[in-house]
Structure 1
């Protein structure tokens, strides 16, 4: 396989945009090459087959969703209370919603995983590891609540972003994203 990290990232970003805008059926090497503005055949030099392209694209979506170091460090500044959880969740939801194609590509990958056992196994392992890491970070940083708090936030925030990006009219009368995050946090019963 060819080793040019910049071009590889550009191809994966093109795959993300293709997934988001055309769905999994539209994800072909030719579509990725065209969207990336590279000669036809370039993507096939970087990825062994379509399954490899899907798997590598799923990794790239996670890379693009990762918060900047300052966002991580901010969690540890100030009191660890309900207001801090709300602040962290508002930042997370804003970051996810700010990259609609990345989020929508993630949804497409999850749907595609229902038909591809290897992709399902990879995504399941990655998402489970991420959830476990979030639970551990929450507990180690002495945030109120515990495992259940993180699980409820994970479920609520993911669906909030999904609804916002796919059917924005459903929640629009209820308020903006930040206000909806605050409403979710207000309903939490925090122990500890």
Structure 2
């Protein structure tokens, strides 16, 4: 890296003074180093490294747009790597905290969907019969017949709030009975 630092500083000084060829040589020289740094940073963060090229392009664009801010008396590499670090951090923040795992690697070890546990229809009907009439009717309508709260309220001439209360009380009562058994 030290051998590049003096070369990059010299090329950037020439580029600032208007030498387009020096600027192109500089960009060609720093790009592989930036690409490796971006891949390393993504890997450390648990992100897929195939996104490194986007970060490299962001870095190069920032270098181009901010090149007038570089102090020609200072070395170029620290300025470049500060931009690179900030662009990597920006990219990671945009992505959020996600960890990517290829599910194909685990397909054989993943269990299938568990069968939902359901009570036999006769048992459900028997349990519903133990509830007060209002709670039983509301539970039958919503849980068994899949009616909405609004439709159930209309059907039994109740307010939606009263339907919710009856539903909650009926479910709480059934839960308490089933825990006793």
| Structure 2 length-normalised TM | 0.27
Larger Rg belongs to: 2
| Structure 1 length-normalised TM | 0.26
Question: Comparing both chains, which one has the higher relative contact order based on Cα–Cα distances under 8 Å and sequence gaps of 6 or more?
Answer: 1
